[in-house]
Structure 1
Amino acid sequence: MMNEDKFYEVPELLTFGSKFPMLVLVVQPPSDSVSSLSFSPTANYLVATSWDNQVRCWEIDVRGENVNSMPRASISHDHPVLCSAWKDDGTTVFSGGCDKQVKMWPLLSGGQPMIIGMHDAPIKEMAWIPEINVLVTGSWDKTLRYWDIRQPTPLHTQQLPDRCSALAVRKQAMVVGTADKNFILFDLQNPQTEFKRFTTSLKYPARCIDVFPDQQGFIVGSIEGRVGVSHFDDSQKYKNFTFKCQRDGDDIYSVNSVHFHPVFPTLATAGSDGTFGFWDKDNKQKLKLLQRRCCLPITCSTFNTDGSIFAYSVCYDWSKGAANHNPATSTTSIVLYLPKDTEVKPKL
């Protein structure tokens, strides 16, 4: 069982204050809610997938305090797009969603997108696995499928106990969250076999997952405004805990995004309360917290490859249904924030 734990505050860094050091809006954002954001692993190219059936790419140029976003290209799906992933060489983008299609887009060469695979239900998650040169996709059809992008049929179809709700890959470790609150660890040296299953004390299914930088465990964000920290090794269970983040008094909001910083062993959370925060799980410190600044939920977020840019989307998350959606006020924005090292580096 996990224990509930508190994060110690770092007072001088707890809130952003009255002025933001650096916030930049991405130009020509999607016309509907953003479902995923992903940066190229080799350059500052940002891809967003959206409920408007589009996959869009911007080039982000940072020169000192001058930050510009330049739309580069876009492609369409037949229905809303839910996820994307980059090939490790930064040349190619993969996408999937409600049309059940796995698309490959040779973005940097200017090539046309092509369908390289299909699922039997919407595709919720995907990731490129560079160690074995394979794309993995997770679907609401209760399967994982591994794709050699040169072939139209999957290398392997892995049955899941329920719908795929979240997925994260880091080197040889992949963790998959399913709608029945199972978390399944795969050792990607043997990706066709489950390595281990976990449950957590979180009461609701996972919305987002990331694997520890040292591959010794994983973090989970759920709709209960809480993040669970779990270790793979049973001998480390005493280190497991949960902490509250997307809360405003008695109001509880979904944690929609959790990501470790690519340089420092700290993490970012963001959610439907319209805030994001930076945390040090090892020292249990809250490093930085955006205090209710966004007028709409943050649906997803990501770091660029060196952690110098934190991108997040502000838009309606549909948690209150279509009846509460006002197109006049529920506009979509993608925001770029340039964190200082002091905001994301552990405090000694």
Structure 2
Amino acid sequence: MIMTRFCIICGRVTDVLIENMCLDCFRKNRQLIQIPSEIEVEICPECYSFRFRGKWLRVEASVPQIMLSAVRRIIEARARIDTAVKYKLDLRYEGRAWSGRGRTKVKVIVTGTPRDDVEPYQEVHIVSVKPSWKLCPSCLRIKGKHEEAIVQIRAEERKLTSSERRYIMELVEKIIYRVSRDDPMAIVIDYEEREDGIDLHMASKRIARIVASYLQREYLASIKESYKVVGMKKGEVITRETISVRLPKYKAGDVIRYKGKPLMIMAIEGGRVYCVDLERYEEVTLKSKDLRDVQVSGCERVEAMVIAVTGSVVHVMRLDNYQTLELELRRVPIWMKEGRHVALLIVDGRPYIAPIKSKTIKES
């Protein structure tokens, strides 16, 4: 005897029943995901970061995509889903994309299945999204000029050079950009050029320490921290931290004496000091511990031109007074050719030839 099988919902006769329902009725009655019909997104009107689970998040995207990202996170956090359901979400705007003002509607297309023996199917939800405007903590601090820390960048026994100032700020911008992806407090509230260095007014003590740490590694700088009580809030002492970053007294282009050898510093980068031996024209790489007690040699520096190279003898002409000097070298480097402009360094009364270019941070 053949048993007739029919759907308990629509009465349709079928050979395939899923939980006593035909496939169409099963899909209609077995919802993949339960999504709230209205969602409120707390969003900053200045930077468009949004609040999710108590944290302010920033997304590198256009304004419409930022809202979709916020809606997706909220849906995935609040939706009621059977643990057996395997699904994926596709979000798009219902009508015009959000322009950054007023309410908007988002179409949520869910593709999935609650059972391995049922092919994936789709269901569509329309969600009304209401933006709730509120300044995030970082923008609030900027508006109120509220700073937690100051990073003071100076150099020992000298002033920062213009190239050092430029490269330092480029490095700070890269650090802030990298860290701001995870921390909206990664902001320089104010930047102050001083005669002896740079002051960075920071919204976060943690970010100030990160910036100082990067500068320390890159420049072999020393760091000191101090605190100042600036007030009380809800019974807690409020302090402002000052982080002093001191670059070493030597810089790119300086001549130092290391183990009796005259070395010209070509670059300081990545926590290393790259030098050239002015007698043997060999590259020398040093660490900060090698240079703790090093002294910078005073030297006269003039631009010159190589006019002849004969064996180990090099003839150079000073371009300030056209005086010609004849120097016998232990080794003539390949770059020292006729017509080449070089730096003529007079160190302790002795002339040396050096390449002109030097840098403080590797350009990327």
Q: What TM-score, normalized to structure 2?
A: 0.20
- Which structure has more strand as a fraction of its residues? 1
| Bigger relative contact order, structure 1 or 2 (CA pairs below 8 A, ≥6 apart) | 1
Q: Give the helix-richer structure, 1 or 2.
A: 2
| TM-score, reference length from structure 1 | 0.21
Q: Rg larger in 1 or in 2?
A: 2
